[in-house]
């Protein structure tokens, strides 16, 4: 067999030639969507690569940061930067300023490409970013905030204008770095995960398979999951492999604009975290729209409440659960029910799991004493994984090699996910909690996820997060933090009785401590930020009722 390296440039070349008429559609608000064909994206990616190398001095291995929304220019950067041999570093625009400064300096980015609307976020940070020599600005925004910046400022369109629309992409080592993304730093500093050309190529192939997202050139995918969040779950690369149209929301991520996009552009697939879909569901109930085109919704990032899945089913949108993390590229499992369960009472139960492991992801469960646990659907332990698109180490910084902390990697190299769950004999993963979020009460474990899902099935509850708080008698007990829907009247006694009637919640697991909040704190990627709730409780900031 021929030894042909698996490279990002080959995905770009294939997509722009074979699927040249497919489109990247960027939502612009009132100005109508911007449309660029894959052929145009290929040509403009070549122009960007010429500009980065010839004008800005970006060479092999050079890190180029992107502080951008989901749009066509970001897709161009996705392909141009790694294809020329540099490293794409997507910057999470929702991180605190100090964490953004940390990751730019840790990665030693030389260039940052930024959307104009995000200049007020970037400009104050530049004095603390000594490695950044160039800032490239794309789209509308007030450039005056960059006056006095030590870095040279360039206009994206001016920079690429007149450049050759073809590029002799180099034959790189497929194991060379292509892109990097930092974890959200919920504990300690963010950690850098570096994806190789090979890992992205293989991950893209798996994402295209029918048992995964299964999207083809007959589909349009609404890519709500940010491009700075684990490469938008691999969608920009997977779509170029198969010719799927991409509908990119840019900065218009509110429920109203998303509903308008669906009605106008008729996407067939979408991907985002549960909080996005909860907001969209409320919008559709308040202002019904024609969203019948959207047949498949991929939900990941955190567990999807069963009530949300059922609500979207009733609208004709089939929710497909998936699990992954920054370190897994992120595809780890997808909940496609097995053939024998389709059309039976078992089907929904399978859909509620995190899903089945695809070829390429090996998994095992480890008990608290390091023992290996069986796949029996009952034995709960920490999930460990390995595979060709699973991280084997973290980036150590510009002057250091890879690092493998013992709490993140086993001695034999498996990734410790920090997720606790069970695996069925046929390979379906059910997560019961994050290891740090399990409530350890009187020597027994209580799943915060189970309590949250049960609470959010109550018609008066919009959101619910449950955290462990100290208890003199039991060590830890659950605190239920609830967001009520507008006009709701349910009280804590009613909600506790509702949990007791659920059947899946044992009496000893029912929370005694309750509080109402206007909104559950979220992390930069839309997950419940439970460390904030724990801190607020410890500092007496929550109005807690004890039943």
CA-CA distance, 118 to 138, in Å (whole number)?
Answer: 10
Contact 84/167 with Cβ under 8 angstroms?
Answer: yes
Q: Which of 186, 265, 268, 445 is catalytic?
A: 445
Contact 60/85 with Cβ under 8 angstroms?
Answer: yes
> Catalytic residue at 233?
no
Contact 354/335 with Cβ under 8 angstroms?
Answer: yes
Checking phi first, is residue 139 left (phi over 0); if not, alpha (psi -120 to 50) or beta? left
CA-CA distance, 60 to 111, in Å (whole number)?
Answer: 13
Question: Helix and strand tally (H, E) in the chain?
Answer: 16, 27
> Catalytic residue at 384?
no
CA-CA distance, 310 to 319, in Å (whole number)?
Answer: 9
CA distances from 540 to 392, 466, 535 (A): 41, 17, 9
φ/ψ of 200, rounded to 5, equals -70, -40
Checking phi first, is residue 73 left (phi over 0); if not, alpha (psi -120 to 50) or beta? alpha
Q: Which of 73, 174, 327, 384 is catalytic?
A: 327
CA-CA distance, 336 to 296, in Å (whole number)?
Answer: 12
Q: Which of 98, 161, 440, 508 is catalytic?
A: 440
> Catalytic residue at 90?
no
CB atoms within 10 A of CB 320: 22
> Catalytic residue at 422?
no
CA-CA distance, 274 to 298, in Å (whole number)?
Answer: 9
Q: Cβ contacts of residue 345 below 8 Å, gap of 6+?
A: none
Q: Encoding tokens for residue 358?
A: 């695809």
Q: Encoding tokens for residue 212?
A: 């995964």
Contact 425/236 with Cβ under 8 angstroms?
Answer: no
Contact 406/357 with Cβ under 8 angstroms?
Answer: no
Q: Which of 26, 66, 90, 183 is catalytic?
A: 183
* Active-site residue list: 183, 327, 440, 445
């Amino acid at each position: 067999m021929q030894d042909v390296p698996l490279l990002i440039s080959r995905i770009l070349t294939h997509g722009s030639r074979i699927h040249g008429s497919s489109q990247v559609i960027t939502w612009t608000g009132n100005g109508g969507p911007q449309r660029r064909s894959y052929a145009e994206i290929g040509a403009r990616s070549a122009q960007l690569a010429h500009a980065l190398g010839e004008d800005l001095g970006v060479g092999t291995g050079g890190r180029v940061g992107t502080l951008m929304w989901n749009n066509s220019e970001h897709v161009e950067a996705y392909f141009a930067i790694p294809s020329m041999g540099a490293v794409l570093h997507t910057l999470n625009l929702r991180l605190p300023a100090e964490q953004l400064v940390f990751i730019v300096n840790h990665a030693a980015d030389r260039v940052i490409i930024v959307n104009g609307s995000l200049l007020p976020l970037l400009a104050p940070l530049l004095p603390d970013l000594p490695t950044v020599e160039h800032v490239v600005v794309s789209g509308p925004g007030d450039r005056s905030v960059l006056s006095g910046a030590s870095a040279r400022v360039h206009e994206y369109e001016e920079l690429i204008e007149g450049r050759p629309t073809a590029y002799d992409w180099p034959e790189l080592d497929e194991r060379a770095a292509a892109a990097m993304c930092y974890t959200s730093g919920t504990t300690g500093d963010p950690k850098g995960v570096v994806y190789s050309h090979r890992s992205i190529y293989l991950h893209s192939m798996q994402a295209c398979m029918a048992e995964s997202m299964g999207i083809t050139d007959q589909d349009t995918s609404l890519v709500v999951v940010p491009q700075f969040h684990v490469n938008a779950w691999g969608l920009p690369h997977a779509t170029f492999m198969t010719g799927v149209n991409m509908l990119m929301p840019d900065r218009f991520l509110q429920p109203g604009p998303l509903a308008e996009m669906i009605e106008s552009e008729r996407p067939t697939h979408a991907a985002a975290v549960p909080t996005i879909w909860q907001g969209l569901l409320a919008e559709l109930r308040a202002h019904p729209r024609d969203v019948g085109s959207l047949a498949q919704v991929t939900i990941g990032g955190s567990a999807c409440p069963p009530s949300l899945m059922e609500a979207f089913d009733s609208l004709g949108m089939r929710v497909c659960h998936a699990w992954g993390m920054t370190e897994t590229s992120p595809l780890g499992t997808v909940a496609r029910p097995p053939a024998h369960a389709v059309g039976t009472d078992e089907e929904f139960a399978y859909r509620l799991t995190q899903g089945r492991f695809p070829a390429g992801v090996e998994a095992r469960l480890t008990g608290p004493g390091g023992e290996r646990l069986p796949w029996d659907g009952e034995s709960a332990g920490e999930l460990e994984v390995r595979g060709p698109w699973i991280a084997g180490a973290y980036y150590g910084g510009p002057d250091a090699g890879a690092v493998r902390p013992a709490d993140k990697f086993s001695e034999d190299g498996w990734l410790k996910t920090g997720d606790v769950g069970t695996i069925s004999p046929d390979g379906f993963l059910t997560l019961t909690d994050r290891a740090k979020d399990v409530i350890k009460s009187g020597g027994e474990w209580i799943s915060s996820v189970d309590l949250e899902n049960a609470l959010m099935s109550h018609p008066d509850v919009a959101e619910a997060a449950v955290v462990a708080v100290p208890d003199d008698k039991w060590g830890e007990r659950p605190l239920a933090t609830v967001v009520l829907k507008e006009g709701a009247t349910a009280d804590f006694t009613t909600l506790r009785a509702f949990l007791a009637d659920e059947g899946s919640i044992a009496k000893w697991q029912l929370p005694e401590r309750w509080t109402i909040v206007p909104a559950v704190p979220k992390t930069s990627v839309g997950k419940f930020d439970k460390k904030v709730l724990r801190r607020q409780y410890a500092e007496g900031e929550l109005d807690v009722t004890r039943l």
